[in-house]
Structure 1
Amino acid sequence: MLKPEQLFLVRHPVDMRCGIDVLTMYVQNSLSMPWHDGAAFLFTNKNRTRIKLLRWDRHGVWLCARRLHRGRFIWPRDGDSTWSLTPEQFDWLVSGIDWQKMSGHDLTKWTLTPVTNPMILNEYLCRKTYNIWHGYYRTSLH
């Protein structure tokens, strides 16, 4: 339903009070991009604390808004007025992750190194528990 075939990130900030009609006119006039079935455009405000997704489908138009509890959305500062995003980049972006630094890591090549000596692991856990219990990791309120 909301899975766009093409997703474009609009680099320049817009007023988040804008609705469907104003954002559609912005896409057509300022970006000179035709809206079409399956396309979606992602907008942000000046502080990058909110985003809006404008998406067209066969039956109408969707306008979705998102705000992070903390932090800001990572937005490109340089380059073209629009960027094309992959579905993975979109997922990272709306989660507040720096999607520009993420790349497709091949997790199948990652290996876990097993602990060969369980006494080393046990000693580490005991030391960590002791330090926590005796307040070495507590912060001072004075």
Structure 2
Amino acid sequence: MFRLNADLTVYLHREPIDFRAGINSLAVLVQEEMALDPFAPAVFAFCNRRRDRMKLLFFDRSGFVLVLKRLTEDKFRWPRRETAVVTLSCEQLHWVLDGIDIDAMVRHPVRHYQVAG
């Protein structure tokens, strides 16, 4: 399975894109619509209208890398947020790639205990 470094920031473009877009078009979209630096140490994720394809764009010091994942029977659970750009961790991106709906995940409450002394 394809794995990204855990220290990278992931930016999801929430709205679907035209999937004919290549590296140059996506880099321009990152710069102009997302107002981010396409050369930054980050991963930029895009999805098509049917949510069955995802493209990842990142720069790896020698050039751009474009990764495409196409699902045969299912759809990606794209985050439902109000902002145009959603920031995720690499772990959350891998969850989305694995079909997990990260908006439906609920974290258990953190409890703080004191030691009696």
Q: Given the two structures, how large is their TM-score scaled by the length of structure 1?
A: 0.67
Question: SS at 2:92's partner residue?
Answer: helix
Q: Hey, what's the Cα distance between the residues in 1 that align with 2:41 and 2:86? A: 16
One of 4, 7, 19 as aligned partner of 2:22: 19
* RMSD of aligned residue pairs (Cα, Å): 2.0
- Aligned partner of 1:140 in structure 2 is none
Corresponding position of 2:114: none
1:35-82 C-alpha deviation (Å, 9 max, x unpaired) = 233111000001111000001121111000001222110113441111
Higher radius of gyration, 1 or 2: 1
- 2:63 equivalent to 1:60: yes
Rounded Cα–Cα distance in structure 2 between residues aligned with 1:87 and 1:33: 17
Contact (CA 8 Å) 2:8, 2:89: kept in 1 or not? no
Which ranges in structure 1 are unaligned for 5 or more consecutive residues?
106-142
Aligned pairs (5 A) from 1:121-136: none
Task: Return 5+ residue gaps in structure 2 as ranges.
Answer: 109-117
CA distance in 1, matches of 2:107, 2:71: 24
Pairs aligned (count): 106
- CA distance, structure 2, for counterparts of residue 79 and residue 53 of structure 1: 21
Name the counterpart of 2:115: none
Give the TM-score normalised by the residue count of structure 2: 0.80
Other-structure match for 1:117: none
CA distance in structure 2 between the partners assigned to 1:91 and 1:32 by the alignment: 24
Please say if 1:29 is aligned against 2:18.
Answer: no
TM-superposed CA distance for 1:27, in Å, is 0.8
More strand by percentage: 2
Q: Take 1:99 and 1:70, find their aligned partners in 2: how far apart are those partners?
A: 20
Alpha-carbon distance change, 102 to 78 in structure 1, aligned in 2, over 3 angstroms: closer
Alignment of 1:97-112 (within 5 A): 97-103=100-106
Runs of 4+ in 1 over 6 A off after TM superposition: none
Query: How far is the alpha carbon of 1:103 from its aligned partner?
Result: 4.7
Deviation for aligned residue 1:104: 5.2
Partner of 2:47: 44
